[in-house]
Amino acid sequence: MSDKESSGFAILRPIAQIIEYYPRCARLVWDAAGLQAILAVGVSILGAVVPAAQVWITKIVIDNVISAVGNADGAAVDWIGLLIPVAGVFGVWILGSICSAVANGLIEKVGYLVRTHSEYLIIRKAAQLDIAFFENPTFFDEMEKARSESSYRAYNLAALSLTIVSSLTGLIAMLAVLLSVHWAAPIILLVTAAPQVIVGGHYAGKRFSLVGAMASNRRMAEYMSRLLGSREAVKEIRIFALHEELLRRFHNFWGLFGKETFGLRFAQERFGFLLGLITMLGTASIWAYAVVRAVGGHISVGTVALAFQAAEQGRAGFSNLFGNLGFFYEHTIFAGILFRFLDLDPRSVEGALAPPPASPVPVPDRLTQGIEFRNVSFRYPGSDKYVLKNVSFTLRVRESVAIVGENGAGKTTVVKLLARFYDPTEGAIYLDGRDLREYDLASLRRQIGVIFQDFVRYDLSAKENVGFGQVDLLDDNDRIERAAYEGGASDLIKGLPKGYDTILGKEFDEGVDLSGGEWQKIALGRAFMKEAEVLILDEPTAALDAFAERDVFSRFAELTSDRTAVFISHRFSTVRMADHILVLQQGELVEQGSHEQLVAEDGRYAQMFNTQAKQYR
């Protein structure tokens, strides 16, 4: 492509991007604010014509005053004729103030609604994407840009759209007034001010590119900030004296981002100042023309005043309009980040779940055949290392199964595949004889309950912390209390200041923090809240002592006697309670059977069991 063609494309690109994105921006504003946006436009337009009306009436007042002062025949002064235009100026001024106040309030509210709606769309989209996306750093960069830039830009775009409509209306009215001085006056202002919109668009594109290039630096700086302000991290940061190092990195990452950002900003301001001088020269030429015409007796003194006010306000109006158009383009292309994020293909990342079948099958309320892993191998997205290698086993109906193995053996990965957070890289998983991928995903997850070792501690009420296990039963207090009892959290919750209404954690006022073991009892209650056919505990009792864990699993075994139960634990006193035990080593299933069978075989399980048993002798 030649330089000339490249230059032409660069000029057309802002127009093409506005055409591409702004209709969706307008739709976003309508969905978020609707009639309030229309009302804001109407009020803004009404207020926009006020300055032009003031200039015109001011001309009338000045001409009337000069006429009255120069009255040579001594006739009585027509005070009513003089004061009515003055009252008109005052009345128009009052109208403008009212319109401005109402419009500002409406514009702020519309902007707030648009930003809130944008953030809602972002988090809804994130909630709909597969877990594989959350293993991808590029996805986090895109989501961070969407949250930090596009929602803010969408907020400003809504307000700016209304401002531009108002500015354009006011400018047209002012230029119409300026035509009374000379037909070329509005053209002079337009020609001298127009380059500002080109410069604004040029630097908007540069800022857009900069944000993309610096997204990882910004995200890293914000991560350092979160670490330094984290209640969970504060103890380790203090004991290892990490604060100075983290502060240094915070400063460096923000410094890199700020250096580029403000360097670009100052460059734009320099060009803006030079272009502003050109616009001022155009305005000064109109002033000079009006003075010459007035001295020659061709126009009145009031028209000179009109020329001075209208030309200056027209200049300011053009500068504001073209500056706003530059920002308008900038906000529009940044809003494009939002739309690209919302348009993400759910299968555009490695490891995403296979598309659902045309007619997905609901998971039966009661399993009859169980779950089978058949030659399953798996590696996480972006990794060449297989976490599971050709694993085959069967989870029989209403059987309790324990999975054991060293850290990194693949235990939690088995659970993630069972819950279909991922599909196997090779092989397949069957539920009642059907491939797991044939089932409706929502139906499958209703029938599988999982509590992980790194379960979430919701800084909400105790009732919600338990009830979230079956959110559609959140208002069923009896069910929640029964689940808390089954998880061993009933006495704990009853002892809280407000019982089930007590806010847990230290995020909010009046929140009550719990120990690690107490949080785990709450999480276990959440697991028992779910009336699932398959219930899985992935080391959720790690913070409990051996006696408390055995009590939990005894209750777990009792309460899941009519369900398929899977649990992972490092304590073999608990593991031996299972009907069937799977032993994983480096991603391979090396042994399986009952506790007695595996001990008798004197293999890997027996070695681990005997090693741990010695610690208690």
In tens, the pLDDT along 89-131 reads 888 888 888 888 888 888 888 888 888 888 888 888 888 888 8
Closest listed residue to residue 50, CA positions, set 111, 97, 107, 1: 97
| Token representation of residue 259 | 């250096």
Residues 6+ apart with CB under 8 A from 359: none
Interval 437-456 mean pLDDT: 85
Interval 150-169 mean pLDDT: 72
The SS3 assignment for 213 reads: helix
**Domains of the chain from N-terminus onward:** 24-342 (1.20.1560.10), 455-531 (3.40.50.300)
Closest listed residue to residue 571, CA positions, set 543, 601, 603, 536: 543
Interval 376-400 mean pLDDT: 90
Interval 197-224 mean pLDDT: 64
How far apart CA 79 and CA 417 sit, in angstroms, is 90
pLDDT value at residue 583? 92
pLDDT value at residue 588? 92
Degrees, nearest 5: CA angle 95-98-99: 85
- Cβ(423)–Cβ(340) below 8 Å: no
Cross-strand pairs, 429: 373
Q: 498 or 249, which is more confident?
A: 498
Stated pTM of the model:
0.68
- Cβ(538)–Cβ(411) below 8 Å: yes
Is 412's pLDDT higher than 80? yes
Q: 98 or 253, which is more confident?
A: 98
The SS3 assignment for 399 reads: coil
Main-chain phi, psi angles of 19, to 5 degrees: -60, -35
Q: 239 or 225, which is more confident?
A: 225
Grade residue 180 by pLDDT with cuts at 50, 70 and 90: confident
| Token representation of residue 193 | 């001010």
How far apart CA 424 and CA 215 sit, in angstroms, is 33
CA 34 to chain centre: 22
| Token representation of residue 60 | 């009338």
Picking from 212-216, 287-291, 311-315, 466-470, which range would have the lowest pLDDT averaged per residue?
212-216
Whole-number Cα distances in Å, 589 to 293, 374, 392, 421:
99, 12, 7, 21
pLDDT value at residue 213? 56
How far apart CA 496 and CA 508 sit, in angstroms, is 16
pLDDT value at residue 212? 57
The whole-chain average pLDDT of the chain stands at 80
Strand segments, DSSP code E, in 447-559 are 448-451, 534-538
The secondary structure of 356-375, three-state, reads: CCCCCECCCCCCCCCEEEEE
How far apart CA 584 and CA 376 sit, in angstroms, is 13
pLDDT value at residue 206? 65
Grade residue 5 by pLDDT with cuts at 50, 70 and 90: very low
pLDDT value at residue 278? 74
DSSP state of 73: S
| Token representation of residue 223 | 């991560």
Interval 355-366 mean pLDDT: 86
Question: What is the number of helices (H) and of strands (E) in the chain?
Answer: 21, 10
DSSP state of 317: H
Strand segments, DSSP code E, in 516-613 are 534-538, 564-568, 580-585, 588-593
- Cβ(588)–Cβ(413) below 8 Å: no
Interval 388-414 mean pLDDT: 90
Whole-number Cα distances in Å, 567 to 173, 409, 449:
75, 15, 11
pLDDT value at residue 3? 46
Is 481's pLDDT higher than 90? yes
Between the CA atoms of 96, 98, 100 and 101, what dihedral angle is there, to the nearest 10 degrees? 160
Whole-number Cα distances in Å, 573 to 45, 402, 612:
77, 12, 9
| Token representation of residue 398 | 């209403």
| Token representation of residue 444 | 């499958």
How far apart CA 144 and CA 547 sit, in angstroms, is 45
Main-chain phi, psi angles of 552, to 5 degrees: -60, -45
